[in-house]
Amino acid sequence: MAEFVKDANFQELVVDTTLENRNDEGPMTLQNFTKLMVQFYEMGWMRGSGGAMGCISGSELMISPSALQKERIREQDVFVYNITQKTEVQRPLNKRITVSSCSVLFSLIMKETGSECVIHTHSKSANLLTQLIKSDTFEISHQEYIKGIYDPFSGKALKYSDTLTIPIIDNMPSESQLLVRANKRSSRQSSPSNRSSRQESRTFCVGTDLGVNQDHVSDDFI
């Protein structure tokens, strides 16, 4: 793929210093990033080379590499970009390693929703859900766990009686092709939510930061 720094959505991405309700666990670091990759692998969220994550920490955007075993990713394998200067800060020494093909989807979602963390996971439950539901959205309400999902547009977490809406987008052979459909869906979406692609367990979990995003992931997208 072309250099990510030239991606149109990355070029328009800005650092939001006004966000409240930030995670209190401290800033994302490369060490924490790689530890999470191992944790996600062990929990079955990112098996083998499948899955990816993009996180904003300060003025930097960290994105996992493509085609590497998630449980073996090292700090030097992570791609790091400066959002303000629109530059590549770090890339793996091995030139054959490329940034995740989900990077263009991450930048789109971050730009459109203000999210600081996006996780791409292959969830069996999400895949099954898209096969059973024929509409382009999945909605659920009166479930205890949706109270852990924060809506940055309203500034509040969802209530037990609220309705969580998950868009389902028909999948495409590659992320770059899926970008067009995701872009159209983003323009129609009034609030952020998890996104799942039909025909494959390709799910994007969106959160204002890692802490919020882990709440989303722990719900297994349902």
Beta strand extents in 137-194 (DSSP E only): 137-141, 150-151, 156-157, 163-170
pLDDT exceeds 80 at position 198: no
- Asked whether residue 18 is domain-assigned, the answer is no
SS3 category, 115 = coil
Band of pLDDT at residue 185, cut at 50, 70 and 90? low
Range of the domain at 32: 4-12+23-218
Planar angle of CA 7, 137, 124, nearest 5 degrees: 80
Percent of the chain with pLDDT over 90: 41
Q: Which residues make beta-bridge pairs with 137?
A: 167
Segment 158-182 shows an average pLDDT of 82
- Asked whether residue 148 is domain-assigned, the answer is yes
- Asked whether residue 175 is domain-assigned, the answer is yes
Tokens 């209530």 -> residue: 159
Tokens 């944790």 -> residue: 39
- Asked whether residue 36 is domain-assigned, the answer is yes
Average per-residue pLDDT in the chain? 81
- Asked whether residue 17 is domain-assigned, the answer is no
CA atoms within 13 A on the CB side of 113: 31
Which CATH number goes with the domain that contains 123?
A: 3.40.225.10
Structure confidence by residue, pLDDT tens digits, 134-143: 888 889 999 9
pLDDT exceeds 50 at position 42: yes
Q: Mark whether 144 is an active-site residue.
A: yes
Structure confidence by residue, pLDDT tens digits, 69-113: 999 999 999 999 999 999 999 999 999 999 999 999 999 999 988
Instruction: From the candidates 71, 144, 175, 200, give the one annotated as an active-site residue.
Output: 144
Nearest CA to 14 out of 112, 99, 89 is that of 112
Segment 54-78 shows an average pLDDT of 95
- Asked whether residue 158 is domain-assigned, the answer is yes
Check residue 90 and give its pLDDT.
97
Report how many domains make up the chain: 1
Check residue 97 and give its pLDDT.
94
Per the CB < 8 A criterion, the answer to whether 209 and 113 are in contact is no
- Asked whether residue 199 is domain-assigned, the answer is yes
Q: Residue 168: CB partners within 8 Å, gap ≥ 6?
A: 130, 133, 135, 136, 137, 138, 195, 196, 197, 198
User: Alpha helices, DSSP H only, in the chain?
Assistant: 8-12, 30-42, 103-113, 124-132, 175-188, 210-218
- Asked whether residue 29 is domain-assigned, the answer is yes
